[in-house]
């Protein structure tokens, strides 16, 4: 009899504990934010700026976890496999859309395994060169020399299908130059090789290259945005230098695993939008060369759809599709 009472009491305790755990308000523990790129690049910087702000507003630490590789597929796959409990966020760039456009084999369903939360920002690239290897100061000069000297111009990218390589391949096709694109696993590694003279150029976020540009260790030739970047107003656009149809910006967004409760998605959207409006975050993001976006989850879904269409259009250009 006593055994039965003890078992019954134990079961009631377990059920009560489980119920209390389920009723704990979100968030009740640290949140991890998976960034599918190495530390130190533009994506990592942006995520850490926003993570610090929402950590304060949520009252829980938001830990940025770098999971690079596979043109973001490794890190994004980790998000898809995470529990849909609001404790795992994923940062995506338009590499997410590029992978769809390329019809890559992925360990997740891009359309079904994620819920969009918010579009963070857009980041144009700067074409930067090693000034000791590339003495030219304007884009037309670089293009003329590259046409006269096939494969003279080497450009570091973040791998086939990455926004950096797509932007480079598109420009290569548009300019009609024979340029050698060299893949790297991350922006920092590529930048170090550029500084060491192993490659001559790269397309990189203005933020990530800012210190080296100011120090004169690299020269910025052009930016890929439609207008000059506020953080670097002295760098002319591609359009200003003879390529009016060339515009490119990488999109940063936040997603969570499919099945995450709608109320948590709404809360995350509200908190991140609030963070993007704070003066400190706006100032720091502007300094990176990024344009703050924000908005409802539907906007990110629309941007992904538009980016997939954009990439398919670019990849249809001879020589622009990665191997």
Other C-beta atoms closer than 10 Å to the C-beta of 77 total 20
Q: What angle do CA 132, 227, 142 make, to 5 degrees?
A: 30
Judged by DSSP in three states, 214 sits in: helix
72 token code pair: 């973001």
What's the whole-model pTM score?
0.76
Query: What is the pLDDT, as a whole number, of residue 136?
Result: 97
Residue 29 in tokens: 């523990």
Query: Quick check: 123 and 68 in contact, CB under 8 A?
Result: no
Domains of the chain: 30-121+251-315 (3.40.190.150), 124-241 (3.40.190.10)
| DSSP codes of every residue in 87-154 | SEEEEE-THHHHHHHTT---SS-TTTSEEEEEEEEEEEEEEEE-TTT----SHHHHHHHHHHSTT--E
Q: What is the mean pLDDT of the chain?
A: 89
The predicted-structure confidence for 94-143, as pLDDT tens digits, reads as follows: 889 999 998 889 999 999 999 999 999 988 899 999 999 999 999 999 99
Is residue 202's pLDDT more than 70?
yes
- Residue 323: pLDDT band by 50, 70, 90 thresholds? low
So what's the pLDDT on residue 4?
A: 52
Q: What is the pLDDT of residues 48-90, one digit of tens each?
A: 999 999 999 999 999 999 999 888 999 999 999 999 999 999 9
21-42: b (≥16 Cβ within 10 Å) or e: eeeeebbeeebbbbbbbbeebb
> Which pLDDT value is given to residue 272?
98
């Amino acid at each position: 009899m006593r055994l039965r009472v003890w078992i019954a009491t134990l079961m009631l305790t377990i059920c009560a504990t489980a119920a209390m755990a389920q009723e704990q308000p979100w968030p009740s523990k640290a949140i991890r934010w998976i960034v599918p790129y190495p530390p130190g690049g533009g994506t990592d910087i942006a995520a850490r700026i926003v993570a610090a702000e929402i950590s304060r507003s949520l009252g829980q630490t938001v830990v940025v976890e770098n999971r690079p590789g596979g043109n973001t597929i490794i890190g994004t796959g980790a998000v898809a496999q995470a529990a849909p409990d609001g404790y795992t966020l994923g940062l995506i760039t338009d590499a997410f859309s590029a992978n769809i456009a390329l019809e890559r084999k992925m360990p997740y369903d891009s359309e079904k395994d994620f819920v969009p939360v918010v579009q963070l920002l857009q980041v144009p690239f700067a074409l930067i060169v090693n000034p000791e290897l590339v003495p030219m100061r304007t884009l037309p000069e670089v293009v003329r020399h590259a046409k006269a000297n096939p494969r003279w111009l080497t450009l570091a990218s973040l791998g086939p299908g990455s926004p950096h390589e797509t932007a480079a391949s598109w420009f290569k096709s548009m300019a009609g130059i024979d340029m050698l694109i060299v893949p790297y696993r991350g922006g920092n590694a590529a930048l170090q090789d550029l500084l060491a003279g192993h490659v001559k150029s790269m397309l990189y976020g203005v933020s990530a290259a800012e210190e080296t540009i100011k120090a004169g260790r690299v020269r910025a030739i052009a930016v890929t945005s439609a207008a000059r970047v506020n953080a670097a107003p002295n760098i002319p656009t591609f359009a200003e230098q003879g390529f009016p149809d060339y515009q490119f910006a990488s999109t940063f967004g936040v997603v969570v695993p499919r099945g995450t409760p709608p109320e948590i998605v709404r809360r995350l959207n509200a908190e991140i939008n609030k963070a993007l409006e704070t003066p400190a975050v706006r100032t720091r993001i502007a300094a990176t060369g990024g344009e703050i976006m924000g908005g409802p989850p539907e906007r990110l879904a629309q941007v992904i759809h538009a980016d997939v269409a954009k990439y398919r259009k670019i990849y249809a250009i001879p020589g622009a599709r990665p191997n």
